[in-house]
Amino acid sequence: MRKTIPLSAGWQFLKKAASVQEAVEAAASGEAVCLPHTWNAVDGQDGGNDYYRGTCWYIRELSEEEAAGERLFLEVNGAAMTADVYLNGKMLAHHEGGYSVFRVELTEELAQKNILAISVSNEDCDTVYPQKADFTFYGGLYRAVNLISVPAEHFELLKDGTPGIKVTPVVDLETKTAFVTVETWHNAADVKITVNGETKTVEHHAEFTIENVHLWDGVDDPYLYTATAKLSSGDEVSARFGCRVFHCDPEKGFFLNGRSYPLRGVSRHQDLKGKGNALSYEDHASDMAIIRELGANTLRLAHYQHAQEFYDLCDENGIVVWAEIPYITMHMSAGRKNTLDQMRELITQCYNHPSIAVWGLSNEITAASAVNDDLLENHRLLNDLCHRMDPTRLTTMANVFMLEIDSPILEIPDINSYNLYFGWYLGELEQTDEFFDEYHARFPGKVIGFSEYGADANPAFHSSHPEKGDYTEEYQALYHEHMLQMIEKRPWLWATHVWNLFDFAADGRDEGGKHGENQKGLVTFDRQLRKDAFYLYKAAWNKTSPFVHLCGKRYANRAEEETEIKVYSNLRLALHRRYAPCKTDREDGVSLPYPADGRAPDRSSCR
Ligand code: GCB
């Protein structure tokens, strides 16, 4: 039988670089911490770009009961950014990349008394991504660490953090049939694989046919099947999977299960005010609840591999996902291996998630680097790796606005996307429309999307005359009103992702009345406040929960005689008019919300 023991409590934390011997000796003087943990929860969020980037130690003794089992593995779900694992003073593993799962076998080194010591570093270097980007590179063991004990005959645990089982459903929509291939990796003679009530005993892989298949059909019906694989030793693994087909059309956008399904949503970073990236399952689940409230049907999980439990939530909620590695902003000539390693791990670990539709090769990689041979070659290798490992999904890239639309790099991925900030960092809102129209006219056969757009807003900042760069909630709302219309007129945009659903930590920032935060979120960093623009998208996307939102309720001190009351609603009628403070001529003193000039409400601007 397989047993998984979470190692959350009982760690001693040392915030210093040291040899393993020194660290173990000093452990008692360290700080007692529980996982998940980051050492940058405070200094990574308070501005100044001065958060601790260095090496720290996590030390813990394993109890006799924990160290039992025929074969014992340590599973680390996220160690940012690099980690060395030691058992009883001996180094057993080194891992580079802060966002993927890795495992280490401990069995051979187990003794009477077992001291586990993990050094983790988020120090800057030129080989591991990310190094330059607009978010805090939190350090720590910020996801779960588990012990997994398995019998001698067991499923593979080591190779690239594999789940040991890979499920590939191919769907024929006409006959409503799914052909499901299940591959497994193990050291036993055979394996029993079960899908949809049917069991086959095979060496490693089996094929199944599901008639009258229940599709994984996006937010409306994200149906999941389960494949289970069992060895005679009792070791067992399983994977949920979804049967769906999708494709992109340069003229018509994204299709799910044969019907047009425009992907309209937001991006998400994995951090929270006061907690950094050390999130609990409840934190992930409450983020997902906000995404469902908004009515988004797609998420770009930027800018790195997110937690397995979050991809699970996307599977369960029918959210179509763009998954990516942190190959971002600046190409490093010594970083090629790391991009390939992180992509291999991402695909190995996330392959079974039906929510994932595309693999993102890089983000704004030409922002601080030239399009040279080395960068192109790196992208070709990544693209080929994705196709080799996963012929069922598309590759994509998020390109920076100044990248020429005929750049050779755009030839590499299957489909493309641009991050554009016209109307915020530069230019006018309408330049976004012009940009996409020009692209579409010049390359009518190419699929293009809008991978990032947004404007910062501090919900304490207000104006009756909002302007680009003023950080007001009102400008953010105007910005998004424009973008929403721009998008609605261009159904060929295969996916659009607001940057960002939540404000997030970027310790290098100091602007808009806040230190260390990017405030392009539709929701604040602590998730406590939905900015007005949130309701604009909710009105457009949420078809199930009727609501009316009056904008500007935080704009308390208004100087003008007439004030603007803007309403966002997903009900059929919403008014947008200027009203004067009401004077009443009714006997009962009730004020009626009529316009200042006494005319009947103008319904021409109804959405
Ligand atoms: C971008 C980046 C993203 C930043 C964003 C911004 O293009 O991809 O990481 O946070 O712009 O807000 O400037």
Residue 575 has pLDDT above 80, yes or no: no
- Please give the pLDDT value at position 579: 53
Distance 257 CA to ligand 1 centre (A): 32
- For residue 249, the SS3 value is strand
Q: What is the mean pLDDT of residues 85-112?
A: 98
Backbone angles phi, psi at 227, to 5 degrees: -110, 135
Nearest-atom number in ligand 1 for the CA of 302 is 9
Q: What is the mean pLDDT of residues 201-206?
A: 98
* pLDDT band at 593; cut points 50, 70, 90: very low
Ligand 1 pocket mutation, candidates 266, 327, 510, 518, criterion most atoms within 8 A of CB:
518
End-to-end CA distance of the chain: 59
* pLDDT band at 603; cut points 50, 70, 90: very low
Who lines ligand 1 at CB under 6 A? 133-134, 303, 363-364, 419, 452, 499, 518, 520
Distance 605 CA to ligand 1 centre (A): 33
Nearest-atom number in ligand 1 for the CA of 518 is 12
Distance 485 CA to ligand 1 centre (A): 22
Beta pairing class for 205-210 and 221-222: unpaired
- Please give the pLDDT value at position 1: 85
Backbone angles phi, psi at 315, to 5 degrees: -60, -45
Closest C-alpha residue for ligand 1 atom 5 = 134
Nearest-atom number in ligand 1 for the CA of 425 is 13
Ligand 1 pocket mutation, candidates 328, 424, 452, 453, criterion most atoms within 8 A of CB:
452
Residue 60 has pLDDT above 90, yes or no: yes
* pLDDT band at 594; cut points 50, 70, 90: very low
Closest C-alpha residue for ligand 1 atom 10 = 134
Residues assigned a catalytic role: 364
More confident of the two residues 33 and 563 = 33
Distance 303 CA to ligand 1 centre (A): 10
Q: What is the mean pLDDT of residues 117-132?
A: 98
Buried b (16+ CB within 10 A) or exposed e, 206-217: bebebeebebbb
Contacts of 222 (CB under 8 A, 6+ apart): 216, 242, 315, 316, 317, 318, 354, 355
Q: Which amino acid is at 219?
A: V
- Please give the pLDDT value at position 576: 55
Ligand 1 pocket mutation, candidates 325, 361, 364, criterion most atoms within 8 A of CB:
364
- Please give the pLDDT value at position 591: 40
**CATH superfamily of the 3-154 domain:** Galactose-binding domain-like (2.60.120.260)
Tens-place pLDDT, residues 411-446: 999 999 999 999 999 999 999 999 999 999 999 999
CATH architecture of 161-246: Sandwich (2.60)
Tokens 């390359």 correspond to 443
Tens-place pLDDT, residues 1-25: 899 999 999 999 999 999 999 999 9
Residue 247 has pLDDT above 50, yes or no: yes
Closest C-alpha residue for ligand 1 atom 13 = 134
Q: What are the extents of the domains in the chain? A: 3-154, 161-246
* pLDDT band at 573; cut points 50, 70, 90: low
| Nearest residue to 248 via CA among 262, 234, 269, 238 | 262
Nearest-atom number in ligand 1 for the CA of 303 is 9
Q: What is the mean pLDDT of residues 116-132?
A: 98
Distances in whole angstroms, Cα of residue 304 to Cα of each of 56, 80, 183, 268, 326: 22, 12, 26, 10, 5
- CA dist 24 and 76 (Å) reads 20
Closest C-alpha residue for ligand 1 atom 4 = 134
Q: Which amino acid is at 173?
A: L
Contacts of 301 (CB under 8 A, 6+ apart): 267, 268, 310, 311, 314, 321, 322, 323, 324
> 512-517 — which CB contacts under 8 Å span 24+ positions?
512/456, 512/457, 512/458, 512/461, 512/471, 513/458, 513/460, 513/461, 513/471, 514/47, 514/458, 515/46, 515/47, 515/48, 516/44, 516/45, 516/46, 516/47, 516/48, 516/136, 517/45, 517/47
Residue 581 has pLDDT above 50, yes or no: no
Distance 171 CA to ligand 1 centre (A): 37
* pLDDT band at 598; cut points 50, 70, 90: very low
Q: How many helices (H) and strands (E) does the chain have?
A: 8, 37
Ligand 1 pocket mutation, candidates 129, 301, 419, 514, criterion most atoms within 8 A of CB:
419
* pLDDT band at 126; cut points 50, 70, 90: very high
**DSSP one-letter code for 272:** B
- Please give the pLDDT value at position 385: 99
Distance 502 CA to ligand 1 centre (A): 13
Residue 477 has pLDDT above 80, yes or no: yes
Distance 410 CA to ligand 1 centre (A): 19
Q: What is the mean pLDDT of residues 245-253?
A: 98
* pLDDT band at 578; cut points 50, 70, 90: low
Closest C-alpha residue for ligand 1 atom 7 = 419
- Please give the pLDDT value at position 583: 46
Nearest-atom number in ligand 1 for the CA of 504 is 10
